[in-house]
Amino acid sequence: MQGVKERFNYLFSSTRGLSMVAIGLIALVSAVWGTLSGPLAELGVKEFMIDLLGMSIFQAEREGRMIMLYHSIAMAVVAIQVYFITGIISMKECERVKVNATVTVGYMMAMFFGLAFGYFGHNWIYHGLFITGQALVFWAGVLLAAALWPWRKEYYISDTAYARTRSGLDLERTAFFVVAVAMLGSSFFGAIAGMYYGNGFETFLAETTIREPHKTILQKSIIGHLHIMLALLTTGVSLVIGRWLDFKGIWQKMAMPLYIVGSVILTFGAWSVMVVEWAHTTIYVGSTFILLGALFLVIYGFGRLIRTGLEKRGLKKAGLFIRLAALVDDPLKFGSLWQMIFMNFTVSGVGIFMAVRLDEIIRVWPYRDERILLAGHWHILATLTATVMLFYYADLMGLQGRARKIFGWAVIIFSDLAFGSVTVFGMKRLFVDEASQQPTVDTLMVLADLALVIVLLALAAFLIWLLVDFFSKNGRWKKDVNLSSSQEVKA
Amino acid sequence: MKRTTILVAFLAFGLIGCAPILSQSNPPLVVDTGVDPENWALIPAGEFFEGQFNHTQTIDYDYEMMVTLVTNTQFAEYLNASLADGTLKVDGDYIAGYHPGEEFHAYEHEMEIPAGDYPHVPLADDSLRIDQSNGIFSARAGYENHPVVMVSWFGANAYCDYYGWRLPTELEWEKAARGTDGRPFPWGEEFNNAHVNAYFSRDPFEWTLGKAGDTTPVGFYNGQTYEGYQTIDSPSPYGLYDMAGNVWQWTLDDYPDQHYRYLRGGSKAEYEFMLRTWMRNSSGPEYMSPNAGFRCVR
């Protein structure tokens, strides 16, 4: 009985345990719901799964179902980010417990009841509890923002290696605070449209509206919401990675103001999409600030990885190849930075290309091709961000040695192969015409599917390793049971 | 050894994807569906449910719509007639015709379509299953009763106009496809590969061009069995065939501030969700696709 209690405490009070539960649930949902589309659906697994689980699927509700699914997963991802932040940022223990407990109850309610409402019949109690869950996640965000309040004197810093004001205000903490507040505000833009659901607002996926020349305020609100939430989540993740790598020195001092100002401008730009034509210009400016901040993080991180790698080899100076070997020595840390670079090829680059060539190419393509490209780049950013979070979590869980290398490189190589293939698939109209595209499509899809399968197998192996440890009497989990989250992360 | 095995497996998957598609000139399975492309169906005036959220709309006039998509044979006959009387002309690699242009408001991303000649069908594109011999156009052998493809909106509009008909508006098209009971597919709620020519629907024509498949003869999904392949009879409530899948269908509407033309019905290259009767595709009116055809109303 004591073992059960200890394990329960580990799962629902430690950063590692809470994150493991959320990652496990996301993996489970992805595994089951992934059969409803793509290659498994083509092979007939979809019908089998619908029958097996007794799902209630109606054609007219597809978009609504997908929105419930997105939010079910997104709430869990937000919760994981919250766990990471409460684990690495100083705050009172009671604040940490309140935030983590609230966000946990919230995301679980949103996930269970959201999926129940979307896929297993429209019991409106489920919908109410889904909304309640999201409201709790929002409230957890308010508590987190309050806990992060950077102007409390006890959180002022004196170490001049880190970005701070003259009075000692911690600019990294301020960046976390700004991102948290911006996410809270941005969530309203989805919630406001959702409030009209059943009262004039009709469910839609953003990509279905791209060619409507006159979009409604609520449509623009949703489009702004989905983009800014992902952008801010990604910004938050890069801040977590910065803390993981002990981001400091001149690069950090330049980056933190950029993160703060960029987040404010980007958020303002996304909100203003509803009312002004020049909102996109604001978004580009905000994005540029944040991307510059992330670039400085990558520069610092690469330098640090090289130094660490050389130290391991007992070297102070080395040639190019040894320095490169040192850079890639730890695939988890290298991967978290590399994915930020790779993102520019598959997301930012594609976005800029589309914006620049909009009237010459993209709007000339049939809508279906444009839709594939748009939906693709959003999903790639979301999944790339998830891989970065996984790298951090694998390190947090103490993945070491050969397993660390295999897991890290499998995720880097095959996720990038998958995302690269999907990006080329989205851009295919640039180099292959519709009549002769099928061999290209088949090749790219085989590459993407195969690569994703390998990434998912790597994730599955990692989760099995976690489970085996969890059921061991004296597993790694044991030492976290009596530690606070911050002690645990440091440990 | 292990590395070699992994590498070989990886390359094998790649090669499967790279396998060449069969030539479009390979003769397809020839079938007589028994559905006459010259038939028209009456769609009576009245209310119906439009769109995903079943908004009530009214069309206050009766109209008739072609029971099938325009076939290669029908379009070849039209080309011969319209070229002979000078309605159309050969312009480089295209057969082209005059369009009077459309009002332009310089709205953001709005296409400008001034008066002039516009391409209707390409002459040297293998995807068009109409061949020319001694100046006479005829449907390619085996494709006579397949829907014509690679026709731009200008070409589809001109075809209907030539015979005194016109393209259907989006509303007319949707009512014809789903009737008055709000169903998502022309045949009802359930989706089965034997209803429709869709992406990876495993019909006998599919492997001609890979998963995206080939066109099926008009009226193919009428409950007949073709060389062991059993179809389900899948007309719309008004008896129209191929109102989902096979090829996208051009519609008439020209909306302000955009000038895109909308296509309905999905195609052989689309998954199930794009075949729902309210889904739309769009493009500029000059777009020619192996996945797009049309039918007319009168």
* Nearest CA distance, B257 vs chain A (angstrom): 7
CATH (domain of B84) = 3.90.1580.10
Single-letter amino acid code for the residue at B233: D
* Nearest CA distance, A27 vs chain B (angstrom): 25
- The ipTM value here is 0.87
Examine the pLDDT at B18 and tell me if it is beyond 50. Answer: no
Of B111, B210, B258, the CB nearest to A442: B210
Of B53, B273, B284, the CB nearest to A364: B284
Same domain flag for A203 and A92: no
* Nearest CA distance, B281 vs chain A (angstrom): 6
Q: Residue by residue, what is the 3-state secondary structure of B151-164?
A: CCHHHHHHHHHHCC
* In-domain check, residue A363: no
Of A213, A434, A447, the CB nearest to B290: A434
CA distance B3 to A101: 46
Round the CA-based radius of gyration of chain A to a whole number and report it: 23
Of A363, A368, A446, the CB nearest to B14: A446
pLDDT score for B21: 41
**Chain B residues within an 8 Å CB radius of A442:** 16-19, 210-211
φ/ψ region of B191 (left if φ > 0, alpha if ψ in -120 to 50, else beta) reads: beta
Q: Does B165 reach chain A within 8 Å, measured CB to CB?
A: no
Q: Does A434 reach chain B within 8 Å, measured CB to CB?
A: yes
* In-domain check, residue B222: yes
- Pairwise CB contact (< 8 Å): A450 & B284: no
- Pairwise CB contact (< 8 Å): A442 & B19: yes
Q: What's the mean pLDDT in B255-264?
A: 89
- Pairwise CB contact (< 8 Å): A444 & B108: no
CA distance B290 to B279: 19
pLDDT score for B99: 94
Same domain flag for A157 and A288: yes
Number of separate domains in chain B: 1
**Chain B residues within an 8 Å CB radius of A366:** 263, 281-283, 287, 289
Q: Which domain holds residue A91?
A: 20-148
* In-domain check, residue A113: yes
Q: Which of residues 88-117 of B touch A (CB under 8 A)?
A: 107-111
Same domain flag for A91 and A234: no
SS3 label, residue A25: helix
Examine the pLDDT at B14 and tell me if it is beyond 50. Answer: no
A10 phi, psi to nearest 5 deg: -60, -50
Same domain flag for A94 and A126: yes
- Note the pTM of the prediction, 2 decimals: 0.90
Q: Which domain holds residue B270?
A: 37-293
Same domain flag for A189 and A202: yes
Number of CB pairs, chain A paired with chain B, less than 8 A apart: 99
Q: Does B61 reach chain A within 8 Å, measured CB to CB?
A: no
Confidence of residue B16 (pLDDT cuts 50, 70, 90): very low
Same domain flag for A49 and A177: no
Same domain flag for A167 and A143: no
Q: Which of A329, A360, A377 is the last residue of a domain?
A: A329
Tokens 């709620």 sit on residue: B189
Of B127, B273, B282, the CB nearest to A435: B127
Same domain flag for A179 and A62: no
Q: Which candidate in B109, B111, B150, B215 is best for mutational testing of the A interface (most A CBs within 10 A)?
A: B109
Residue pair A204/A215 in contact by the 8 Å Cβ criterion = no
* In-domain check, residue B16: no
For A204, the closest chain B residue by CA position comes to B52
Q: Which of A275, A305, A329 is the last residue of a domain?
A: A329
Round the CA-based radius of gyration of chain B to a whole number and report it: 20
Q: Which candidate in A45, A51, A59 is best for mutational testing of the B interface (most B CBs within 10 A)?
A: A59
SS3 label, residue B89: strand
Bridge partners, B90 (sequence order): B95
Q: Does A364 reach chain B within 8 Å, measured CB to CB?
A: yes
* pLDDT (tens place) for every residue of chain A, 491 residues total: 788 888 998 899 899 999 999 999 999 999 999 999 888 888 889 999 999 999 988 999 999 999 999 999 999 999 999 999 999 999 999 999 999 999 999 999 999 999 999 999 888 899 999 999 999 999 999 999 999 999 999 999 999 999 999 999 999 999 999 999 999 999 998 888 888 877 778 888 988 888 888 888 889 999 999 999 999 999 999 999 999 999 999 999 999 999 999 999 999 999 998 888 888 889 989 999 999 999 999 999 999 999 999 999 999 889 999 999 999 999 999 999 999 999 988 888 887 787 777 777 777 788 998 888 888 888 999 999 999 999 999 999 999 999 999 999 999 999 999 999 999 998 888 888 888 888 898 899 999 999 999 999 999 999 999 999 999 988 888 877 766 666 666 65
Question: Please, what sign has the CA dihedral across residues A264, A269, A272, A273?
Answer: negative
Q: Does B211 reach chain A within 8 Å, measured CB to CB?
A: yes
Q: Which of A106, A127, A148 is the last residue of a domain?
A: A148
Of A62, A435, A447, the CB nearest to B14: A447
